[in-house]
A = this chain, B = another copy of it.
Amino acid sequence: MLKTDIAKGFKNIQTEICHRLSEADGSGIFQKDSWTRDGGGGGLTRIFTGGSIIEKGGVNFSEVYGATPEKILQSFGIREKSDFYATGVSIVLHPFNPHVPIIHMNIRYFEMDQGLWWFGGGIDLTPHYVVAEQAQWFHRQLKNLCDRHDQSYYSRFKKWADDYFFIRHRNETRGIGGIFFDRLNDKPKDILYKFAEDTGKTFAPVYTELMHQNKNESFSPEQIEWQKIRRGRYVEFNLVWDQGTKFGLETQGRTESILMSLPPMASWAYNYHPDEGSEEAKTLALLKKDIDWINIM
């Protein structure tokens, strides 16, 4: 399978996702911002504006190549100079309504001269308020996705997401997890591409369903305050622990595309603890690793 065909497939997924999300939101559109990278390649960042459900978000496509950054070579213990090629789609959406969850999806392909190549990606959900039925439904969709490709995937990648999307300094997960995979290369490239592609295609129907289920829920100013606090935690994860973000910023990636994931209106309060027994406290108690969401109820 040609790398350029993978990029073409990913670009089509971006287009399809933008179309589906605009339709589901009902009023917002995805503006286009195309950019080039010094050293090779570029991307198309699509930024959502004028939304009625989605307050801020974007879908980024990139296809970059050239001399492999020193940091990457080091991490593989490769001493000779080398070229790389990477393409991917990534999305983060922050909704207005605190009852609609934040979502993140990413699929990516990487290769280097030395014959190294792999796929990575995942989908994870960050509800401001965890609703057990919806969390279960979300994980079941991901399990169905995984099971279509490999019976071992869901349990492996669900655990990987729990471990990855963990805010260590808070001892809490970013949300209810989902699936995460990286450096996947143990099957032929076209087989693994199909899994990455299916991940990309599963995203829109799953998220638009969650949008529709929650968009008409009413909310209070206190719930908006909680949403801002949770958005603050999202910022903490992305800037302190997310390997992709750290790596991108350290290797002079395109800042605006990397930080597209950050929310509008985040807030920090000193030593904030929700009242015992409150909905916020119930959600916090569910931001833990290793919850069996598939069988939660």
Could you mark each residue 247-281 of chain A with 1 if its beta carbon is under 8 Å from any beta carbon of chain B, else 0? 00100100110111011111111110000000000
Q: Is A170 an interface residue (CB 8 A)?
A: yes
A271 and B240 contacting across the interface, CB-CB below 8 Å:
no
Copies in the complex: 2
**Residues in B whose Cβ lies below 8 Å from that of A249:** 168-169, 240
**Residues in B whose Cβ lies below 8 Å from that of A198:** none
**Residues in B whose Cβ lies below 8 Å from that of A258:** 169
Q: Is A230 an interface residue (CB 8 A)?
A: no
B268 and A262 contacting across the interface, CB-CB below 8 Å:
yes
Q: Is A235 an interface residue (CB 8 A)?
A: yes
* Interfacial residues of chain A within 12-54, with CB under 8 A of chain B in the complex: 33, 45, 47
**Among candidates B170, B252, B259, B267, residue contacting A265 with C-beta atoms closer than 8 Å:** B267
Nearest B residue (CB) for A261 = B268
A235 and B239 contacting across the interface, CB-CB below 8 Å:
yes
Could you mark each residue 221-236 of chain A with 1 if its beta carbon is under 8 Å from any beta carbon of chain B, else 0? 0000000100010011
Q: Is A95 an interface residue (CB 8 A)?
A: no
Bound-complex Cα distance A179 to B228 (A): 33
Bound-complex Cα distance A246 to B262 (A): 19
Q: Is A58 an interface residue (CB 8 A)?
A: yes
* Interfacial residues of chain A within 63-94, with CB under 8 A of chain B in the complex: none
**Residues in B whose Cβ lies below 8 Å from that of A270:** 33, 45, 47, 56, 58, 256, 260
Bound-complex Cα distance A254 to B168 (A): 12
Smallest distance from the beta carbon of A173 to chain B beta carbons, Å?
Answer: 15
* Interfacial residues of chain A within 161-179, with CB under 8 A of chain B in the complex: 168-170
Q: Among A56, A249, A270, find the residue whose CB has the most chain B CB atoms closer than 10 A.
A: A270
Nearest B residue (CB) for A262 = B268
**Residues in B whose Cβ lies below 8 Å from that of A269:** 56, 264
A169 and B255 contacting across the interface, CB-CB below 8 Å:
yes
Nearest B residue (CB) for A256 = B271
Nearest B residue (CB) for A239 = B239
**Residues in B whose Cβ lies below 8 Å from that of A169:** 249, 252, 255, 258-259
Nearest B residue (CB) for A248 = B169
**Among candidates B33, B58, B239, B268, residue contacting A236 with C-beta atoms closer than 8 Å:** B239
Taking A263-B268, A266-B268 as known contacts, 7 extra A-B pairs with beta carbons closer than 8 A to each other, sorted by chain A number, are A168-B249, A228-B265, A240-B246, A256-B270, A264-B269, A265-B265, A266-B266
Q: Which 10 A-B residue pairings sit nearest by Cβ, starting from the closest?
A: A239-B239, A262-B268, A169-B249, A169-B255, A256-B271, A47-B270, A264-B267, A239-B240, A265-B267, A266-B266
- Which residues does A use to contact B, with CB under 8 Å? 33, 45, 47, 56, 58, 168-170, 228, 232, 235-236, 239-240, 246, 249, 252, 255-256, 258-260, 262-271
Provide a sorted-by-A list of 29 A–B residue pairs whose CB atoms are within 8 angstroms: A33-B271, A45-B270, A47-B270, A47-B271, A56-B268, A56-B269, A169-B252, A169-B255, A169-B258, A169-B259, A228-B265, A232-B266, A235-B235, A235-B239, A235-B266, A236-B239, A239-B239, A239-B240, A240-B240, A256-B270, A256-B271, A259-B268, A262-B268, A264-B268, A265-B265, A265-B267, A266-B266, A266-B267, A266-B268
